[in-house]
Structure 1
Amino acid sequence: MEKLTVGTTYPSAPLAAPHGTSGALLTIVGVLVVAVLLAAFVRGRRIRKREPGPPDPESHPRLPHGGPVGDVMERREPEELPRSDHRRGPHELRGNGIGSRRRE
């Protein structure tokens, strides 16, 4: 078994590919990425072209002449919680924890 020291090099084992090979590989990968992105863009445009357009203004619902129907004005009152070390869960609150009283 050989003892390795700091700074030992192995000339028989190349550590990186030659400059021309790595540059060509990066160029090929870059071209492939751009081609995939362009293909996805073209496919998305074709799919969007087949979808129906936006609705006409006449097909939207209209408000009645008197304004919105069924407006309710209410004031919510907090539920008073007793002071204790016990934590109350949502199932222990009355009316989901919010009491309301209608204004007339």
Structure 2
Amino acid sequence: MNTEWANFAAERSVLGGAAPFIAGVVVVSVLIGALWLGARVRAREPRRPLPEEQPKLPEGGPVREEQANREPDEIPKSDYRLTPYEVHGNQGTRPNPDKKRPRWSKNSSGSFGSGGLGAH
């Protein structure tokens, strides 16, 4: 048996053990650097608000959803067909004096599909 190969294998095993150790040191160094950088960035941020500085509820309690029916203004009459960009911004809405929601038909929810057999 040739002892040169045994010596070479012994030298390679030392390098094989050192490479993972060096890689581990590099990974730990990168993680410590990331923590240090994160601490610096967080130190530059404004402080958190104190409990007294937090938003408070209005005097009347929480704000509830408000439903209002609005009707569109009429499209202006013209001799030619209006394109959407000609109508946009020129058309507003106003409060609808009728408080009921508009329906397509009696006992309908107001949408097109009934989800069932339909209104008969």
Task: Report the TM-score, using the length of structure 2 for normalisation.
Answer: 0.43
Higher relative contact order (CA 8 A, sep 6+): 1
Which structure: greater strand fraction?
A: 1
Larger radius of gyration: 2
